[in-house]
Amino acid sequence: MIDKRFKIANKIFKSRLIVGTGKYKSFSECAKVIKTSGADIVTVAVRRVNISNKNKARLMDYIDPKKITYLPNTAGCFTAEDAIRTLRLAREIGGWKLVKLEVLGDKKNLFPEMIETLRSTELLTKEGFKVMVYCNDDPLMAKRLENAGAVAIMPLAAPIGSGLGIQNKVNIRIIRKQTKLPLIIDAGIGQASDATIAMELGCDGVLINTAIAKAKDPIQMAEAMKLAVISGRKSFLSGRIIPNLFGSASTTSKGII
């Protein structure tokens, strides 16, 4: 299989690893992680990360938005109105139109509120935003989001920050088969092997924040995730053998002495 370019809303990206910018000890540590990871897209929680107050340390002072694509997200929003207002603010601040939509309905588990998410996707698309959507792993809802104009589908692997890894491989496979949009696992990755599994399932990319930021060694974990995504992608493209319940000798019995 020929590896297709990682393309979102007609823009080509080199790395299939997207890294979040929250939970680090400092902007400096965050910048080192981004560099080590090789990521060329970073998510930015507009409501939580300083990107506009020049009198305080800004993320832009450490990660150059001319070199790295900023993906404003709506972390902390629980209604369509809050999410839309937040992304309009992001557009005013930095002119960003490629955005990550996240509308939560559960403060404990941080599951997406899919009715509000769908409504937000429709409204933001009409306003000209290119919406990458955090969602649950429901194939039917994923299809509705695609029909509503989303430019990427981003189902959770497990609750945000849980580190549980992919809990529903079957649904991820179904979503992969039914959509031509970029499919990016978002939330729940805990270790490098989780990222590899996501890529082996045919996902186009993986978004990771907590698993890197809260690792004992974030820099080393960033490198591990980088290699895991590359490895998983190569494994997927190589075409795995068909699983078999029975053993099969590595060498033929023909001509055996």
pLDDT of residue 245: 83
CA-nearest of 2, 59, 64 to 26 is 59
Domain span at residue 70? 14-237
Query: The dihedral of CA 40, 5, 96, 130: what is its sign?
Result: negative
| Token couple for 130 | 């290119």
pLDDT of residue 2: 72
Question: Catalytic amino acids?
Answer: 100
Compute the half-sphere exposure of residue 189: CA atoms within 13 Å on the CB side of its CA. Answer: 35
For 23-40, write each residue's pLDDT tens digit: 999 999 999 999 999 999
pLDDT of residue 255: 64
The answer to whether residue 197 sits within a structural domain is yes
The answer to whether residue 73 sits within a structural domain is yes
- Give how many domains the chain has, as a whole number: 1
pLDDT of residue 249: 74
pLDDT of residue 109: 86
The answer to whether residue 242 sits within a structural domain is no
Compute the half-sphere exposure of residue 133: CA atoms within 13 Å on the CB side of its CA. Answer: 36
The answer to whether residue 254 sits within a structural domain is no
CATH number of the domain within which 52 lies: 3.20.20.70
CA-nearest of 110, 150, 137 to 203 is 137
| β-sheet bridge partners, residue 131 | 99
pLDDT of residue 81: 93
pLDDT of residue 52: 65
The answer to whether residue 184 sits within a structural domain is yes
Pair 213, 249: CB distance under 8 Å: no
The answer to whether residue 256 sits within a structural domain is no
The answer to whether residue 200 sits within a structural domain is yes
pLDDT of residue 153: 97
pLDDT of residue 252: 66
Per-residue confidence in pLDDT tens, the chain, 257 aa: 677 899 999 999 999 999 999 899 999 999 999 999 999 999 998 876 666 667 778 888 899 989 999 999 998 899 999 999 999 988 988 889 999 999 999 888 889 999 999 999 999 999 999 999 999 999 999 999 999 999 999 999 999 999 999 999 999 999 999 999 999 999 999 999 999 999 999 999 999 999 999 999 999 999 999 999 999 999 999 998 888 888 877 776 666 66
Pair 139, 171: CB distance under 8 Å: yes
